[in-house]
A = this chain, B = another copy of it.
């Protein structure tokens, strides 16, 4: 009774969580023939991850949905530390800012993972008809290495099985006490149900489909089926630390219940995170690694045990809750996949790294993984970019994953120590030991995504410090709010540099009121117009000149002292139907009606306001190269390493 068929897709994505959806966004945006499956019958609606770091919000800005996040999310701008005072009563001991307005337009936000997924799904729908195929599971994977180097080949063969509605939703039924939705079925304490699902599913007639794919991205979580098929070791260990997590509406007189805070007591350290819709998330230690008490029967943990623990920690305040949105239990484990990539198969998100959720980085790292691999696979699958760029994925993301796990490892004892009664010692500042605040301050730039330490590669040409001290190849372009020359409106660069699959040449044009500088810009524009320029050479037949590489000009003169038509035509490309491109010329000018637009972009980038600089941005807004405006050969060299050689050279023009 089993129906079988073979179909073909360029890219198959397994798993529609944050990392899978981010990867899928690129396929949708770049028009890649792709499919994305998820074994669950529905997306998540409650619980799971909730922390959004500034860099993630910048990415969400670049895909056009950050306004929806900010409207719904709870912003966490300050962090407070509580502990017992001399009288034993809990006291607020320190308060620190989290939000760093000088580094990003965005702060730290909290919002349920389900909403984030919704926004990415909407962004996908806005530019394609790609839909997540839910209730679909992969049950076999073959990879033919001999086909790996043949661009048109489909080396990957996956058998997909459509689950029955019951199978797709069985584990996500309500559980826990009082019908509260709990997350135990996704908890890392519960064994994964993938094999069970396959076994059960095989017993009944159902749709089985063989899919041949050029590329596969496995975003199927900590128990990753894809990773297992590839026999990639998942290195690390699971500790005995068991934590409870609960999303609830608190009934308490604890004054910082709507602030991010820790409460360190001899009963353990509670981490409290304010959320949307009056919710608060609490993390509570239920058993320490070296607990002398009898080992917990983990399956016996109930919501009430978590409630009691919270009451113990907050004992000098009233605390309880009646409304619980979600809860789960997890055992702290830290694992890192030894490889992120095998041939044309890539893994992302929890499939390659697991750690405790307390750093509030999990969803961020996963989305950034999916974002990183997504555009690379999309451009390679389209035949635009060379397959060699795919090797940069592991290079770039494994280092950040390792750093995340290291951070988590250093964070954990700061929560556990308190459990052993030395709370005052470990959280008091200046006692010589690493405190939570020390660690937060040390790691904040990494955790917030201001730095990511991407190493040199074909996509990252290091250098240019003398030209732009703070534009570091490999790092993201530091956001600034700048003004459009044609209409005067102020936009963050995170919105302007849309994630649309294009590389960008950002011409920091300096001050064109200086005659010499104008000459330099005109020379550069003349180069762009020539047949040798990368715009002309890599322009796909029949497409617009800016379809692969967009040139954005940000000059430094006041908007009011320049006019849009003053700029060379190549910088504001003319279109027969739509006229001049008004969205290409910008000024680092301040703006009387927008206090965020300060005209300090050049300063923050470390670029001379008269002479400017030339910058290449990758499709993910990371800096690929920095040079002088004359360095067109180097600029060209960058793209030569990335793009496939032009199929048809414009012989007539180039030889003219």
Binary contact readout A572-584 vs B (1 if CB under 8 angstroms, 0 otherwise)? 0000111110100
Query: Provided the pairs A253-B565, A258-B484 are in contact, do residues A576 and B78 lie with their beta carbons within 8 angstroms?
Result: no
Contact B74 A489 (CB under 8 A): yes
Q: A253-294: which residues lie under 8 A (CB-CB) from chain B?
A: 253, 255, 257-259, 274, 278
Please give 14 more A-B residue pairs, beta carbons under 8 A apart, in addition to A252-B579, A322-B577. A67-B70, A77-B488, A77-B489, A77-B593, A95-B560, A101-B592, A101-B593, A250-B579, A251-B577, A258-B484, A258-B564, A278-B578, A278-B582, A322-B576
Q: A488-538: which residues lie under 8 A (CB-CB) from chain B?
A: 488-489
Binary contact readout A461-497 vs B (1 if CB under 8 angstroms, 0 otherwise)? 0000000000000000000000010111100000000
Contact A255 B564 (CB under 8 A): yes
Contact B489 A577 (CB under 8 A): no
How far apart sit A101 and B259, CA to CA, in the bound complex (Å)?
30
How far apart sit A251 and B592, CA to CA, in the bound complex (Å)?
29
Nearest-neighbour CB distance to chain B for A53, whole angstroms, equals 15
Whose C-beta in chain B lies nearest to the C-beta of A75? Answer: B489
CB of A99 within 8 Å of the partner chain: yes
Contact B593 A595 (CB under 8 A): no
CB of A71 within 8 Å of the partner chain: yes
CB of A445 within 8 Å of the partner chain: no
CB of A563 within 8 Å of the partner chain: yes
CB of A107 within 8 Å of the partner chain: yes
Q: A81-116: which residues lie under 8 A (CB-CB) from chain B?
A: 95, 97, 99-101, 107
Query: Provided the pairs A67-B67, A99-B593, A595-B595 are in contact, do residues A487 and B251 lie with their beta carbons within 8 angstroms?
Result: no
How far apart sit A564 and B317, CA to CA, in the bound complex (Å)?
14
Nearest-neighbour CB distance to chain B for A75, whole angstroms, equals 5
Residue among B274, B322, B484, B596 making CB contact with A595, cutoff 8 Å: B596
Residues of B within 8 A of A560 (CB): 95
Query: Provided the pairs A77-B593, A278-B582 are in contact, do residues A259 and B97 lie with their beta carbons within 8 angstroms?
Result: no
How far apart sit A563 and B591, CA to CA, in the bound complex (Å)?
37
Contact A323 B578 (CB under 8 A): yes
Whose C-beta in chain B lies nearest to the C-beta of A95? Answer: B560
Residues of B within 8 A of A99 (CB): 592-593
Residue among B78, B255, B565, B576 making CB contact with A255, cutoff 8 Å: B565
A-side interface residues, number (CB < 8 Å): 50
Nearest-neighbour CB distance to chain B for A27, whole angstroms, equals 24
Contact A580 B253 (CB under 8 A): yes
Q: A379-416: which residues lie under 8 A (CB-CB) from chain B?
A: none
Contact B486 A257 (CB under 8 A): yes
Residues of B within 8 A of A591 (CB): 77
Nearest-neighbour CB distance to chain B for A310, whole angstroms, equals 13
Nearest-neighbour CB distance to chain B for A240, whole angstroms, equals 34
Nearest-neighbour CB distance to chain B for A564, whole angstroms, equals 5
Residues of B within 8 A of A278 (CB): 578-579, 582
Query: Provided the pairs A253-B565, A255-B563, A582-B278 are in contact, do residues A74 and B487 lie with their beta carbons within 8 angstroms?
Result: yes
Binary contact readout A55-89 vs B (1 if CB under 8 angstroms, 0 otherwise)? 00000000010011011001101100000000000
Residues of B within 8 A of A596 (CB): 595
Whose C-beta in chain B lies nearest to the C-beta of A576? Answer: B322
How far apart sit A100 and B68, CA to CA, in the bound complex (Å)?
26
| Subset of 9 A-B contacts with CB under 8 Å | A74-B487, A74-B489, A78-B488, A99-B593, A101-B594, A249-B577, A251-B578, A252-B579, A258-B484
How far apart sit A580 and B250, CA to CA, in the bound complex (Å)?
8
Residues of B within 8 A of A577 (CB): 249, 251, 322-323
Contact A486 B579 (CB under 8 A): no
Residue among B252, B564, B593 making CB contact with A97, cutoff 8 Å: B593
Nearest-neighbour CB distance to chain B for A587, whole angstroms, equals 13
Q: A608-635: which residues lie under 8 A (CB-CB) from chain B?
A: none
Whose C-beta in chain B lies nearest to the C-beta of A489? Answer: B75
How far apart sit A641 and B101, CA to CA, in the bound complex (Å)?
48
Nearest-neighbour CB distance to chain B for A62, whole angstroms, equals 13
Contact B67 A71 (CB under 8 A): yes
Contact A579 B487 (CB under 8 A): no
Residues of B within 8 A of A251 (CB): 577-580
How far apart sit A488 and B78, CA to CA, in the bound complex (Å)?
8
Whose C-beta in chain B lies nearest to the C-beta of A100? Answer: B593
Q: A553-568: which residues lie under 8 A (CB-CB) from chain B?
A: 560, 563-565
Residues of B within 8 A of A100 (CB): 593
Residue among B67, B95, B107, B563 making CB contact with A68, cutoff 8 Å: B67
How far apart sit A99 and B259, CA to CA, in the bound complex (Å)?
35
Residue among B64, B252, B488 making CB contact with A259, cutoff 8 Å: B488
